[in-house]
Amino acid sequence: MPDARAKKTLKKLGELAQGVVKTVLKGVDPSLEIPSRSLSNVSFDEKKSIIELGDQKQQRQLFNVGHARKFMQTFLIASACKDLIEAEKTTSIRDLYYITKHTMGDSKQNTFEEQDESDPIIEDLEVTIDTLREELNLFASNKGSMVGPITIVDAGDTIDLRHLGSGGWSVPSIVEDHTIQFRKHEAKFVLLVEKDAVWRRLNEDKFWVKNKCILLHGQGMAPRGVRRLIYRFNRELKLPVYVLVDNDPWGFYIYSVVKQGSINLAYESVRMAVPEARFIGLSSLDAEEYQLPANVTIKLDDQDERRAKQMLAYPWFNKRTWQREIRTMLRNGVKLELEALSAKGISFISEEYLPRKLRDKQWLA
Amino acid sequence: MPDARAKKTLKKLGELAQGVVKTVLKGVDPSLEIPSRSLSNVSFDEKKSIIELGDQKQQRQLFNVGHARKFMQTFLIASACKDLIEAEKTTSIRDLYYITKHTMGDSKQNTFEEQDESDPIIEDLEVTIDTLREELNLFASNKGSMVGPITIVDAGDTIDLRHLGSGGWSVPSIVEDHTIQFRKHEAKFVLLVEKDAVWRRLNEDKFWVKNKCILLHGQGMAPRGVRRLIYRFNRELKLPVYVLVDNDPWGFYIYSVVKQGSINLAYESVRMAVPEARFIGLSSLDAEEYQLPANVTIKLDDQDERRAKQMLAYPWFNKRTWQREIRTMLRNGVKLELEALSAKGISFISEEYLPRKLRDKQWLA
């Protein structure tokens, strides 16, 4: 039996189809209105502090040679998602491509040639009916692990994240509340770490026990499941979120995506971005502050410099503190990896660096 | 307190150092004998069915301008590993690079310039004292997830892998028996899947419950932790191992590394390779056998063809069945992804394909 959320999504999919049927019955050419995902329709909302989509829409018409193929594809994807939800199964976007790919009639025309044709249609569908792909029962890659003082329920299993050893719980891609529910917890905050090696260090040192935090990593850029979970921890459990990344433009970017979303997926910010997220390090000022040896710094390459300069101009980095942060990186001409802290001792990060940062409130918001 | 295994590794590290001290006291120039990891010292042992290292050794002398730096580095790494083991901490090879990197005296000489200098020294140390890097308390990247009818102990936590929801347990990089112990299980076999999306499908369909198997994925090439765990399941629990990969040369390669090890890491085959591992699919004969539509096949590109032709010549693929498998791929000129099975229905893989393969013993050994 589909649950309440599934019913809501099914209703939206049904209305999309019925809308088209109605126009046809009225003798009007069928068409869809799809919110535009182009750059010109993306902006940073200063008040909400997220990157979001504007109101521009585009028409997709069946009786237009330039639109017909995409029109057909949109309903093919919508129909497959409806089947998925009704069957209570989930699948990957790669799988959905194979499920919906077929050769039409006696022609040599395929419904989709490559996955790069079906992926944007999924995004179209998400924005058109205002639904996350996870609600369409589609998942992205499984990445990231989690431990912490919290019990969750996942697909009917009660999991105590306090006792998952050195490995931790694999964060699935779909973490919506119909799949994952939160139970008893003693967490005071959430710490997202860019690198799994650093996560392992913090887990081994029981940093999360001593500091009562939920500890996650995203193996680089935080995947959708991790972002959505952090969002839920922040909203539902009112937990502050700290992000710990390398001191380089890529680390800053990872943080900024967690905090206000990305330009590419601007339509999702409203349910993925955590504007309250705090950047706890590595800061460009840390090498001096924590007296790290000069030989652990790495020279910025041309791409780093270009990226850092671009970031100076982004409205979401247009704060005194962030301008100082990025300018310091450019002036010093170097970047730092999280592992560089190990030059001060293997557990320096868990026993000195992070506790001091938290105690002295040395983060950027 | 270091456990028995740690003590054994510490003893080996101690003997390495004492050996050098002894030669110095005898007035002899200090040197090390390091097994050669070059291609000329790698061969396939038909009887054991693994790729392994031969007996060639190379000398590393302190009083040789070409060797002195590496000689120093070897002991620097050995000493850092000794500290790690004594502190009962583990770390990444990247971290170890930072830990051991420093500028020597008043010179501008660094002990290591880049990680590509320290990584081979770690491998040298592994072969020289016949120890896995995991026993030196060094870990690689965390990749892969696991569920199944088994209870394990990880770092003191008892974990029931029957109840870890949609996410599963994150397989850590170090799974040696001092960290991970096996408890009660009802598993009849192990299934390693190349792709996490397919793992999720099989988990959601409870394939592992119905078929009593331990279900793992390695997010592509199986990482060291996953390989070592499979090895232990095979040796300690006597479980057969099945490998499910894409039908392309890369998939074949993933299988062959699990089965007989790789040329690059030949020295580890003896404790990583599972010669009994069975290739359960996708086979080049499956498209016809399971009547998959033609449009889900993908044309081999030049690199695929080149790789497939190379594989025909590898001694470990020199069996009638494998020659037929690879020749069929080349003749058909196409490859297949695991997801292609979804063209026959979303749960075709868990409800028809795998059960039939297992029932009819349709695998390659």
Q: Which residues pair with B242 in a beta bridge?
A: B191, B278
Three-state secondary structure of chain B: CCCHHHHHHHHHHHHHHHHHHHHHHCCCCCEEEEECCCHHHEEEECCCCEEEECCCEEEEECCCCCCHHHHHHHHHHHHHHHHHHHHCCCEEHHHHHHHHCCECCCCCCECCCCHHHHHHHHHHHHHHCCCCHHHHCEECCCCCEEECCEEEEECCEEEECCCCCCCCEECCCCCCCCCEEEEEECCCEEEEECCHHHHHHHHHCCHHHHCCEEEEECCCCCCHHHHHHHHHHHHHCCCCEEEECCECHHHHHHHHHHHHCCCCCHHHHHHHCCCCCEEEECCCCHHHHCCCCHHHCEECCHHHHHHHHHHHHCHHHCCHHHHHHHHHHHHHCEEECHHHHHHHCCCHHHHHHHHHHHHCCCCEC
Gap from A101 CA to chain B (nearest CA, Å): 8
Would you give the DSSP letter of residue A337?
-
Secondary structure of residue A106 in the 3-state scheme: coil
Does B332 lie at the interface with A, CB-CB under 8 angstroms? Answer: no
Residues 6 or more apart from A116 whose CB is under 8 A from it?
A: none
Report the 10 Å Cβ neighbour count for B249: 22
Residues A83 and A204 in one domain: no
Q: How many CB atoms lie within 10 A of CB A189?
A: 19
CA–CA dist A310, A304 (Å, integer):
10
Mean pLDDT, chain A, integer: 94
Kindly report, residue by residue over A71-92, the tens digit of the pLDDT. 999 999 999 999 999 999 999 9
Q: How far is CA A146 from CA A236, A347, B225, in A?
A: 18, 20, 18
Catalytic residues of A, which ones?
98
Query: At residue A347, does pLDDT exceed 80?
Result: yes
Q: Is B161 on the interface with A (CB under 8 A)?
A: no
Question: Strand, helix or coil at A78?
Answer: helix
**pLDDT for position A140:** 82
Cβ–Cβ contact A103 with B under 8 A: yes
Give residue A26's pLDDT.
93
- B199 to chain A, any CB pair closer than 8 A? The answer is yes
Beta strand B180-185 with B213-217 is unpaired
The residue from A139, A159, A189 where one domain ends is A139
- Same-domain status, B304 and B156: yes
Interval A286-312 mean pLDDT: 94
Whether B98 is catalytic = yes
Chain A residues with CB under 8 Å of B157 CB are: 163-165
Residues whose CB falls within 8 Å of the CB of residue A313, separated by 6 or more in sequence, listed in order: none
What dihedral angle (degrees, nearest 10) is formed by the CA atoms of A30, A32, A33, A35?
A: -160
Exposed (0-12), middle (13-18) or buried (19+): which is B170, by Cβ within 10 Å?
buried
> Is A41 among the domain residues?
yes
B364 domain-assigned:
no
Angle, vertex CA B265, rays to CA B93 and CA B259, nearest 5 = 125
pLDDT range class, residue B77, cuts 50, 70, 90: very high
Contact predicate A211/A240, CB 8 Å: no
Q: How many residues does chain B have?
A: 365
Distance, in Å, from the CA atom of B301 to the CA atom of B349, rounded to the nearest integer, reads 26
Q: Which residue of B has its CA nearest to A83?
A: B346
Q: Collapse the DSSP code of A13 into the 3-class scheme (helix H, G, I; strand E, B; otherwise coil) and give the result.
A: helix
The per-residue pLDDT for range A168-180, each reduced to its tens digit, is: 999 999 999 888 9
- Examine the pLDDT at B1 and tell me if it is beyond 70: no
Contact state of B197 with A92 under an 8 Å Cβ cutoff: yes
DSSP reduced 3-state for A239: coil
* CA nearest neighbour of B34 among B63, B75, B86: B75
Q: State the helix-helix crossing angle for A68-87 and A93-100, rounded to 10 degrees.
A: 110
Shared domain for A103 and A178, answered yes or no, is no
* Cβ pair B172:A154 closer than 8 A: no
* Residue B334 shares a structural domain with residue B216: yes
Q: Are residues B273 and B157 in the same domain?
A: yes
**Letter for the amino acid at B334?**
V
How close, in Å, is residue A361 to chain B by CA atoms?
Answer: 26
Judge: B169–A174 Cβ closer than 8 Å, yes or no. no
Query: CA–CA separation, B154 vs B143, rounded Å?
Result: 16
The distance from CA A186 to its chain's CA centroid, rounded to whole angstroms, is: 25
Residues of B in contact with A102 (CB under 8 A): 293, 295, 343
The pLDDT value recorded for residue A131 is 93
Residue type (1 letter), B98: Y
- Nearest residue in chain A measured CA to CA from B96: A342
Phi–psi pair at B50, nearest 5 degrees = -135, 155
Phi, psi for B216 (deg, rounded to 5)? -130, 150
CATH number, position B326: 3.40.1360.10
Candidates A74, A71, A119; CA nearest to A95 is A119
Is it the case that residue B328 has pLDDT exceeding 80?
yes
Domain boundary among the residues A139, A156, A176 is at A139
Residue A176, in any domain of the structure: yes
**Containing domain of residue B57, as a range?**
4-139
**Do A141 and B196 make contact, defined as CB atoms within 8 angstroms?**
yes
Which phi and psi (to 5°) does residue A56 adopt? -60, 140
Q: Inter-chain contact A197–B95, Cβ cutoff 8 Å?
A: yes
Contact of A340 with chain B, judged by CB distance below 8 Å, is answered with yes
pLDDT for A330 beyond 80: yes
* Rg of chain A in Å (alpha carbons): 23
Q: Are residues B116 and B208 in the same domain?
A: no
CB B33, CB B57: distance < 8 Å: yes
Using the predicted structure, report yes or no on whether residue A323 has a pLDDT greater than 80: yes
Share of residues in chain A with pLDDT > 90 (%): 90
**A178 and A219 in one domain?**
yes
Please report the residues numbered 239 through 298 in chain A whose beta carbons come closer than 8 angstroms to any beta carbon of chain B.
293-296
> What is the secondary structure of A197-229 as a DSSP string?
HHHHHHHHTTHHHHTTEEEEE-SSSPPHHHHHH
**Same domain for B152 and B130?**
no
ipTM: 0.90
Q: Please report the sign of the dihedral spanned by the C-alpha atoms of residue A226, residue B212, residue B261, residue B176.
A: positive
Per-residue pLDDT band at B196 (split at 50, 70, 90): very high
Is residue A364 included in any domain, yes or no? no
Which residues pair with residue A42 across a beta bridge? A53
Q: Do A94 and B337 touch (CB under 8 A)?
A: yes
Residue from B97, B98, B267, B314 carrying the catalytic annotation: B98
- Whether B334 maps to a domain, the answer reads yes
Kindly state whether residue B365 falls inside one of the protein's structural domains. Answer: no
| Cβ of residue B72 closer than 8 Å to a chain A Cβ | no
**Contact yes or no for B219 and A142 at CB 8 A:** yes
The one-letter amino acid at A99: I
Q: What is the pLDDT of residue A1?
A: 62
pLDDT at A23 over 70: yes
The reply to whether B149 and B102 lie within a common domain is no
Token duo for residue A240: 């502050």
Q: Is it the case that residue B161 has pLDDT exceeding 90?
A: yes
Statement to judge: residues B280 and B160 lie in one domain: yes
pLDDT band of residue A283 (cuts 50, 70, 90) is very high
pLDDT at B140: 82
Using a CB-CB cut-off of 8 Å, the residues of chain A touching B81 are none
Cα separation, B174 vs B269, whole angstroms: 16
- Rounded average pLDDT over B328-353: 95
Alpha helices in A29-142 (DSSP H): 68-87, 93-100, 115-128
Q: Report the C-alpha dihedral over residues B289, B290, B294, B297, rounded to 10 degrees.
A: -90
In whole angstroms, what is the distance from residue B191 CA to residue B163 CA?
A: 18
User: How many C-beta atoms surround the C-beta of residue A263 within 10 A?
Assistant: 14
* Chain B residue nearest residue A92, CA to CA: B197
Q: How far apart are CA A49 and CA A67, in angstroms?
A: 35
Using only the alpha carbons of chain B, give its radius of gyration: 23
B128 plus B182 within the same structural domain? no
Kindly state whether residue A365 falls inside one of the protein's structural domains. Answer: no
How many structural domains is chain B composed of?
Answer: 2
Examine the fold and report which residue of B119, B139, B159 is the final residue of a domain before the chain moves on: B139
Q: Is residue A347 within 8 angstroms of chain B, CB to CB? A: yes
- pLDDT tens-digit map of B175-187: 998 889 999 999 9
The identity of residue B23, as a single letter, is T
Contacts of B95 in chain A (CB under 8 A): 197, 201, 339, 342, 346
Query: Could you tell me how many CB contacts below 8 A there are between chain A and chain B?
Result: 182
Q: Kindly tell me the burial class for residue B301, based on how many C-beta atoms sit within 10 Å of its own C-beta (0-12, 13-18, 19 or more).
A: exposed
Instruction: State the pLDDT at residue B12.
Output: 97
Q: Using a CB–CB cutoff of 8 Å, tell me whether A163 touches chain B.
A: yes
Check if B119 contacts A (Cβ < 8 Å). Answer: no
| Exposure class string for B93-102: b at 16+ Cβ within 10 A, else e | bbbbbbbbbb
The pLDDT of residue B285 is: 96
Q: Which of A91, A98, A165 sits opposite B154 (nearest CB)?
A: A165
Q: Which of A159, A165, A197 sits opposite B92 (nearest CB)?
A: A197
Compare all CA atoms of chain B with the CA of A347 and give the residue at the minimum distance: B89
In chain A, residues with a C-beta closer than 8 Å to the C-beta of B141 are 196-197, 219
Which of A95, A155, A166 lies nearest to residue B166, judging by beta carbons? Answer: A155
Predicted local distance difference test score (pLDDT) of residue A264: 83
Domain assignment of residue B109, yes or no: yes
Contacts of B169 in chain A (CB under 8 A): 164, 167-170
Q: Is A100 on the interface with B (CB under 8 A)?
A: no
From B99's Cα to the closest Cα of chain A, the distance in A is 5
Q: How far from chain centre, in Å, is Cα A320? A: 26
DSSP β-bridge partners for residue A247: A336
Q: What's the pTM?
A: 0.93
CA-based nearest residue in chain B for residue A169: B169
Q: Do A159 and B170 touch (CB under 8 A)?
A: no
The CATH number given to whatever domain includes residue B49 is: 1.10.10.10
Residue A103 per-residue DSSP state: B
Do A193 and A232 fall within a single domain?
yes
- Whole-angstrom CA distances from A311 to A72, A251, A315, A322 are 40, 12, 9, 9
pLDDT of residue A107: 85
Q: Are B295 and B344 in contact (CB under 8 A)?
A: no
Which residue reads 């040329």 in tokens? B263
